[in-house]
Copies of this chain bind each other. A is one copy, B any other.
């Protein structure tokens, strides 16, 4: 790669840095998961994880757990149902709600992917020492916690 003289932008802007890390994280995840023989996005994975930890919750509850809005979760759920990783049934207690559970395939996918995802996490923040990595996680978690669960809507 030759030097084009183009200066990259936003090197000290937190928003831009976070956006960069976000796309890096997504691309590493998608690539490694595909190499493992699966076709699953980060959000789909997080949703499966949330459903394993909270079986039978409805879409609004899932949205809360993974910090997305209802419309997004509806679309993500559509894809997971279509891939037969999640079962969606109308709640007998509340006809508006749809209760979500992992299918056998969903559980199997999550089990197979968990070690892959654990291993890929270091790649998401390349060039950091283990101490720096831990520090970054701690700071990010603190900021995310301070932001609260309901801020993004």
A61 at the interface (CB under 8 A from B): yes
A9-27 CB contact bits vs B (8 Å, 1 = yes)? 1111111111111111111
Docked-complex contact A21 and B18, CB < 8 angstroms: yes
> In the assembled complex, which residues on chain B have CB atoms less than 8 Å from the CB atom of A4?
61, 64
Q: Answer yes or no: A71 CB below 8 A from chain B CBs.
A: no
Query: By the criterion of a CB under 8 Å from any partner CB, how many residues of chain A are at the interface?
Result: 63
Q: Is A78 an interface residue (CB 8 A)?
A: no
Q: Is the interface of A mostly helix, strand, loop or mixed?
A: helix
A115 CB–B CB distance under 8 Å: no
Q: Which of B22, B54, B132, B141 contacts A19 (CB 8 A)?
A: B22
Name the CB-closest residue of B to A52.
B9
**Cβ < 8 Å to B, chain A residues 137-153:** 137, 139-147, 149-152
Between-chain CB contacts (< 8 Å), 13 pairs:
A6-B57, A6-B65, A8-B66, A12-B141, A14-B124, A14-B125, A18-B21, A20-B140, A21-B143, A23-B67, A128-B139, A128-B143, A132-B142
In the A-B complex, the 7 residue pairs with the smallest Cβ-Cβ separation, listed nearest first, are A127-B146, A17-B140, A15-B25, A9-B50, A126-B146, A22-B22, A125-B143
- List residues of chain A with CB under 8 Å of any chain B CB: 1, 4, 6-27, 29, 42-43, 46, 49-50, 53-54, 57, 61, 64-67, 117, 121, 124-128, 132-133, 135-137, 139-147, 149-152
